[in-house]
Amino acid sequence: MYPKYAIIVAGGVGSRSGDSLPKQFHDICGHPMLWWSVRAFHNEDPTTKIIVVMHPDYIELWKKTCGEDCPKHTVVAGGSTRTMSVAAGLAQIPFNDDALVAVHDAARPLVSERMIREGYKMASERSVGIPAVPVTESIRKGSLHDSIAVDRSEFHIVQTPQVFNNMLIHLAYEEALKSADHVFTDDASVISFFGHPIRMYQGDPTNIKVTYPDDFIIAEYRLSKS
């Protein structure tokens, strides 16, 4: 049984969601949005060591608002980019620890225990587990003024949590931090840059990334039924 870690990245500022506070503090069914991700990882396996990474200006506020029923976790200050924030979380995990590391965005409060479990399982077998769902709508490549149709069967929407062998993700992020000219939008991109193949597993269309005001309505409805 591999030791398990979960890094939950909660560095958003909430500009598109319409909130004055970062969206991880937005109330959903009586709890801050971030609380739901922490709970999901704890419920999947209470032994998982959970690390929350957020902007240093909001750490004290989180400690006051997360609630006594929030599962145990460590909070650390993030950096100016997502890559630097994940690296700050990785710094809390022993480099030589034979473990699995999941990286999850706090903006996905609907993540299921099934998805988390599948990610850890695939990473234990193949070193990498990336959840993805097929693109179901017609898509075009280009601009609004000039575009071409592309085969949607060749495309997937990538989600989190993305799960990795501990040594692999540590080494990959070491290289990523040396590459100032590269922008990495997720952890799979970091692993690809390092030269390791990406293994995907079936994600969940309901595991939406909460970005706009209407997304909160969807999340509230689904979590109220869970």
Task: Report pTM.
Answer: 0.94
Q: Which two tokens stand for residue 109?
A: 């409060």
Peptide bond connecting 161 to the previous residue in cis, omega within 30 degrees of 0: yes
* CA–CA dist 28, 36 (Å, integer): 9
Confidence of residue 11 (pLDDT cuts 50, 70, 90): confident
What is the architecture of the domain spanning 4-130+157-224? Alpha-Beta Complex (3.90)
Note the pLDDT tens digit of each residue in 78-98: 998 999 999 999 999 998 778
Kindly tell me if the per-residue pLDDT of 15 is higher than 70.
no
Long-range contacts of 186-189 (CB under 8 A, 24+ apart): 186/82, 186/158, 186/160, 186/162, 187/86, 187/103, 187/160, 187/162, 188/128, 188/130, 188/158, 188/162
* CA–CA dist 131, 134 (Å, integer): 10
What are the domain boundaries of the chain?
4-130+157-224
Note the pLDDT tens digit of each residue in 122-161: 999 999 999 999 999 999 999 999 999 999 999 999 999 9
